[in-house]
Structure 1
Amino acid sequence: MAGSRSIDRLRRLELLAAQLKQDEFCTVNGLASEMGVSGRTITRDLLLMREQGVPIDADRGRGGGVRLDRNWGVGRLNLAYPEAIDLLISIEVAQKMESPLFLANLASVRRQLVASFSPEKRKRVNRLKSRILIGTTASTYVQAGIALPPKRLVQTLHQAFIDQELLSIRYRREDGAMSERQIEPHYFLLKYPVWYIIAIDRLRDAPRTFRCDRISSAARTGASFRLLPKSDFAQSLKDDDLRV
């Protein structure tokens, strides 16, 4: 347990350094809220960072903030495993979309990330990549009606997708009616900029497609499901020019 706490603190110190370097003005309370710890914990962390030679400036008085010297570098990037997976999958999505700009070094970044994984983790990442599909760009009509889902909802969908876990969702149909569903999130489909879940709907025991921005709530159930091949969802995908 003590070792786990030490790892947590080391990770928090890295994130603190990055946050302070990124933002011109941070408060102890704001940092505490961002890290999910108490203000006293952040104060102790900042003291430790100063003792280690990190140049932290502080404004005195009510509402005072803390920041890093702008000429100081945070150091080399050190990603946690889930962050590395997210970055790698984002790179794959960008490459599948075949944008001509800002892609020159993505292959090199991808190779370095993959090289940092164990063989088993590489297999897991490859399985995840194969479950993300890129379709044609959404119509202007669809784009006009999209709304950004809340961060917590996105995180729930994301984790259930990775863990192949059954989801209970509340879904708004195109006609505005709400319904309760239990779905197996087998594949994600991006029809830029709209994300869809290609799923098995337990209510109908059949494949269905759900727009992520129409999901008003989602809860993980703890029940896992067996991944089905894309061919089982051919009807849901037949109208898409997919790059998979």
Structure 2
Amino acid sequence: MNPIDRALGILLMLTGGKLVTATELSRRFEVSLRTIYRDMDRLLSLGIPVDAERGAEGGYRLAKDYIQPPVALTLNETASLLVALALVRGLKATPLSADLDTAERKLLAALPRRARELLIEGGRVVGIEQAPVDIFHSEKQTVERGNMQVAVDRFLEALLAARRVRFRHENPYRGRVRDYEVEPHGVLFDRDRWYLVGRSVDETEARIFRADRVIEIEVAGISFRPPKDFNIADHLGRTWLASAMRRWESDGDIAEIRVTPEQAETLARDWFYRHAAFTRLASGDTLIGIPNPTERELFALIRWLGPGAELLKPLDLREKLARSLEAMAATYRA
């Protein structure tokens, strides 16, 4: 028996979960103990997770769940997965992209030739639009130091291994970079960006980090027990934005705008402004508090809302807005 056939036979013997001694393997394959030891070293060098236990009751066995039972998929099921892979590749960052490539090759190998030729380049038959540029809700851009692909990959790898991650995260609004050690819980995709959901060891509740603002991420050696009650669905509908706004309100500047009931109803349907603080006034109007405002954003919002909307704070921008509106009015009166 050649070494390759023997290595495959050893793998099959180790998959049952029961410890198999080197003596048993030597007897089964009719080779010396030294040859078996060399075979085990070869398997380990290939990255195959063989657990070895010493002592009289010791032996070898394959790490649990290393070899999975075969999964039978229909032609349509296989094609649907390949289409999904093509869609995912349209994103700015594809989680675990290298592993996705090998999975795709395995799926393609299971298809009949005609279907394989059609789907071998899924990008030719499946397209995905990138999220449009949102010029109304302006954001302060992050200095391009982070790598969203790397951040998502390391975060998912840590999640699968139930290990913490350490990274630096940039906050462009505060002009600071902070170090975090986080227990990964999940990831979500929104408006062409990935967000990492996890609990910082310094906090009691999970929070969300933008992946493209993560710098120098690494998987830590410290393991943790993933919370059984966590569900990423609880963070959909941009509920994360509501909690983020409450946090921004506590440590940042807030702009206040008085709007009519109709304008408040319109803003309550907006993906971003709906999560701002709405306070009903005795007059029937609504006071809206917007954290981390920019001059450009506030001026565009007031102009878009039109008559009935009034910027109350900050006072310096209120005066500047008045001059801007007067200049616009003069243009139309000319």
Q: TM-score, normalised by structure 1?
A: 0.40
Higher Cα Rg, which structure: 2
Q: Which has the higher contact order (CA 8 A, sep 6+)?
A: 1
Q: Please, what TM-score do these two structures have when normalized by structure 2?
A: 0.30
